[in-house]
Structure 1
Amino acid sequence: MDKLRALNYLVRVADTLSFSRAAKAFGVPASSISRRISDLEAELGVELLHRTTRTVRLTELGALYVEQVRAGMAQLHDAEELVGQRSSTPSGTLRISAMPSYGQLLLMPALQEFSERYPDILLDVHLSDSLVDLGRDQIDIAIRGGRQPQDRVVARRLDPNRFILAASPTYLQAMGTPRTLDDLTSHRALMYRGPNAVIKWQGLDEDGWRELPVTPAFISNDGASLIAMACRHRGLVLLSEWGLERHLRTGELVPVTLDQPVSVGRGVESGIYLLYLQTRYQIPKVRVAVEFLVQRLGAAAET
C-alpha cells in the first residue's frame, strides 16, 4: 500500500467530509479514495471514518489521528520545499491572507514593491476577515487584528490598531459635535460588519465598559466604503487610525474627542499582527516576505 497517498486522501476527506470532493481534488475515482483509506484502517486495525450512504465523518480516534498526520505531513512538505529552495533565489507560490481594509490600503502597495524585488515569487493574496488556520488552510502569512494570539503561531505586531472616532466638518457643523458618550445617541453611526456580526461601539464610564446604543446609518464590511460615506457627511465613523490617516491629514475628516473613551473593544490590548508558523520561516520565500513586510509595515518604520 502507498501509505503516503492514503494519508493524503484521508486528510482531504477529513477536510471535505466527502469522498467525491476528495476524489475530484486528486483526479481519481471516489472508489479509489475509499479503498485506500479502508486499506489504511485495516493496517492500523482501527476505524478512522464513520460511513453511511449519505455522510462520512471522522471517528473520535480518527480525528486524533488526522491531527497528528496533518502536522507530520506539513513538516514533510516544508522540508521538501526548504531543500528545493536552499541554494536558489526565493521562489514559489506565497499565500497571504489579510483583512480587506488593511490589505487594500497598506498591504497591496507594499506587495507591489515586494513583487518587483522578488519576481520569482508568485503572490496569492486572499482578503478576508475570517480566521485562518495557517497549517490547515495552507496560508504562509496572515495579517489580522485583535489580541496577540497565544497558540503555536509566531505573531509580530505591525500596528497598535488604535481606534479613532471621526466625521466630516460639514456633518459636525450640521449635527453638532458630540462631547459625551450619551451625545452619541443623537448621531448617525457608520458601522463595520465583522465576519460574524456588526461590530458594536463600546464606551467607558464610571461603571465600566458598556455597549453604546447608537443608531446605524450605514453598515458595511468594507472600511473604504464607511470612510467614503463619512466624507459625504453621512455620519460618525469609528475605525483604526491607519485607515483614517490620509483623510485626517487632508481635513476631509476630523477626529472627535469625547470626555470618555470609545472603542470597538473593552479595553483589551489590541494590535495588527503578522502571523506565521515558525517551521515555515526557514523557507526562503516566507522568510524574505516576513522580514520585508515587518520592515515596510511595522509602526516603527513610520517614525
Structure 2
Amino acid sequence: MDKLRALQYFAHLAESGSFTNTANAFDVPPSSVSRRIADLEALLKQQLLHRSTRQVKLTELGDLYYQQILPALHSLSDAEDLLKQQQHHPSGLLSISAMPSYGELCLTPILSEFSKRYPDIVLDLHFSDQLSNLRRDQIDIAIRGGTAPDERIVAKKLSNNHFVLCASPEYLARNGQPQSPLELNQHPSLRYRSPEKVLPWLYKEQQKWQELHPPIRLISNHGTSLVNAAKSGDGIALLPEWGISQQLAEGSLVRFSVGQDIRVSPAETTGIYLLYQGLKYQIPKVKVAVDFIVSQLMQQPSEYLG
C-alpha cells in the first residue's frame, strides 16, 4: 500500500466529506479512493469513517488521527514547494490573512502593485480577526493586531496599534467633550467586538488599570460600521488611529483627549504584526511577499498607521 497517498486521500476526504470530490481532486476513480481508505483502516485496525449513501463523516478516532497527520502533510507540501520554487521565479497560490479593516484600508491598496511585479502569484485573501494557526489553516502570511506572538512564528512589527477617542464635531457640539475618563461614562459608546469579547475601555487610576462602563449604543466586529456610526453622531468610539486617518483629515471625526490614554489592553507592546513560519521565508513567493508588504506598510506615515 502507498501509505502516503492513502493519507492524502484520507485528509482530503475528511475535509470534503465526499469520495467523489476526493477522486476528482486526485484524478482517480472513486473506487481507488475507497480501496486505499479501506487498506488504511485495515493497517490501523481502526474504523476512521462513518459511511452512508449521502455523506462521509469521521469517527471520533478518525478525527483524532486527522488532526495528528495534518501538520505532517502540510510540512511535506511546504518542503515540496520549497524545492520546486528554488529553481523558478515566484509563482503559485499565496494565502494572506488580515484583519478586515486593516486589510481593506492598508493592505489591499498596495497589492495591485505587487500583482504587477509578480503576475504569476495568485493572491488568496482571507479577512478575519481570528488569530490563525498558520500551519493548520495553510496560511502563508497573517497580519494581526495585539502583542508579539510566541517564538515559533516570525513576527515583523509593521506599526503601533494606538487607539484614540473620537466623535463627530456635531456630537461634541451637542453633548460637550468629556474632560476626564469618568466623564466618558455619561456618553453612549460605540464598541468593537473581537473574536473573544467586546473590547474594554481601560484607564489608569493609582497605578492600576480600571474599566470604564459607559452606556453602549452599538457593538460591531466591523470597524467601518463603527466609523460610520461615529460620523453620524451616534456616540463616542475608541478606534485605531490608522482606521480613521481619512475621517480625521476631512474633519468628519474629531480626535480628543480626556487627560490620559484610554486603552483596550493594558499591554505596552500592542502593534500590527506580519506573521509567517520561518521555513516558508525560503519559498520565493513568500519571501517576495513578506519583503514587499513590510517595505510598503512600514514606510507609511505614522499618522496613517498609528
Q: Check conservation: 2:71, 2:136, Cα contact below 8 A.
A: no
* 1:198 counterpart SS class: coil
Looking at structure 2, the residues matched to 153 and 8 of structure 1 have their Cα atoms a distance apart, in angstroms, of: 26
Q: How far apart are 1:108 and its partner, in Å?
A: 0.3
CA separation of 1:30 and 1:185: change in aligned 2, threshold 3 A: farther
Q: How far apart are 1:41 and its partner, in Å?
A: 4.0
Q: Check conservation: 2:74, 2:138, Cα contact below 8 A.
A: no
Looking at structure 2, the residues matched to 105 and 274 of structure 1 have their Cα atoms a distance apart, in angstroms, of: 16
Q: How far apart are 1:301 and its partner, in Å?
A: 4.8
Q: Which residue of 1 aligns with 2:91?
A: 91
Q: Check conservation: 2:129, 2:194, Cα contact below 8 A.
A: yes
Looking at structure 1, the residues matched to 154 and 136 of structure 2 have their Cα atoms a distance apart, in angstroms, of: 16
Q: Which residue of 2 aligns with 1:226?
A: 226
Looking at structure 1, the residues matched to 83 and 296 of structure 2 have their Cα atoms a distance apart, in angstroms, of: 28
TM-score by length of 2: 0.85
Q: Check conservation: 1:90, 1:285, Cα contact below 8 A.
A: yes
Q: How far apart are 1:42 and its partner, in Å?
A: 3.4
Q: Which residue of 2 aligns with 1:148?
A: 148
> Which stretch shifts more, 118-127 or 247-256?
247-256
Looking at structure 2, the residues matched to 213 and 31 of structure 1 have their Cα atoms a distance apart, in angstroms, of: 62
Is 1:24 the counterpart of 2:26 in the alignment?
no
Q: Check conservation: 1:90, 1:118, Cα contact below 8 A.
A: yes
Q: Which residue of 1 aligns with 2:187?
A: 187
CA separation of 1:146 and 1:21: change in aligned 2, threshold 3 A: farther
Q: Which residue of 2 aligns with 1:119?
A: 119
> Which stretch shifts more, 267-276 or 153-162?
267-276
Q: How far apart are 1:191 and its partner, in Å?
A: 1.3
- Once the two structures are superposed, the pairs formed by residues 195-210 of structure 1 within 5 Å of their partners are 195-206=195-206, 208-210=208-210
* 2:244 counterpart SS class: helix
> Which stretch shifts more, 236-245 or 68-77?
68-77
Q: How far apart are 1:122 and its partner, in Å?
A: 1.1
Report the residue type matching 2:110 in the other structure. Answer: A
Q: How far apart are 1:199 and its partner, in Å?
A: 2.2
> Which stretch shifts more, 282-291 or 208-217?
208-217
* 2:165 counterpart SS class: strand
Q: Check conservation: 2:23, 2:33, Cα contact below 8 A.
A: no
1:56 aligned to 55, 58, 61, which one? 58
Looking at structure 1, the residues matched to 159 and 190 of structure 2 have their Cα atoms a distance apart, in angstroms, of: 23
Q: How far apart are 1:115 and its partner, in Å?
A: 1.1
Looking at structure 1, the residues matched to 73 and 271 of structure 2 have their Cα atoms a distance apart, in angstroms, of: 32
CA separation of 1:289 and 1:36: change in aligned 2, threshold 3 A: same
Q: How far apart are 1:33 and its partner, in Å?
A: 5.0
TM-score by length of 1: 0.86
Q: How far apart are 1:51 and its partner, in Å?
A: 5.3
Q: Which residue of 2 aligns with 1:302?
A: 301
CA separation of 1:55 and 1:40: change in aligned 2, threshold 3 A: closer
Report the residue type matching 2:59 in the other structure. Answer: R
> Which stretch shifts more, 189-198 or 162-171?
189-198
Q: How far apart are 1:50 and its partner, in Å?
A: 7.5
Q: Which runs of 5+ in 1 are unaligned?
A: none
Q: Which residue of 2 aligns with 1:103?
A: 103
CA separation of 1:137 and 1:48: change in aligned 2, threshold 3 A: farther
What RMSD in Å do the two structures reach over aligned CA positions?
2.7
CA separation of 1:301 and 1:88: change in aligned 2, threshold 3 A: same
Q: Check conservation: 2:51, 2:57, Cα contact below 8 A.
A: yes
* 1:178 counterpart SS class: coil
Q: Which residue of 2 aligns with 1:161?
A: 161
Q: How far apart are 1:79 and its partner, in Å?
A: 2.6
Aligned length: 296
Q: How far apart are 1:150 and its partner, in Å?
A: 0.7
CA separation of 1:254 and 1:160: change in aligned 2, threshold 3 A: same
Looking at structure 2, the residues matched to 24 and 157 of structure 1 have their Cα atoms a distance apart, in angstroms, of: 41
Looking at structure 2, the residues matched to 22 and 253 of structure 1 have their Cα atoms a distance apart, in angstroms, of: 55
Q: Check conservation: 2:147, 2:267, Cα contact below 8 A.
A: no
CA separation of 1:104 and 1:93: change in aligned 2, threshold 3 A: same
Q: Check conservation: 1:75, 1:279, Cα contact below 8 A.
A: no
User: How many percent of aligned residue pairs carry the same amino acid?
Assistant: 46
Q: Which runs of 5+ in 2 are unaligned?
A: none
Q: Check conservation: 1:95, 1:140, Cα contact below 8 A.
A: yes
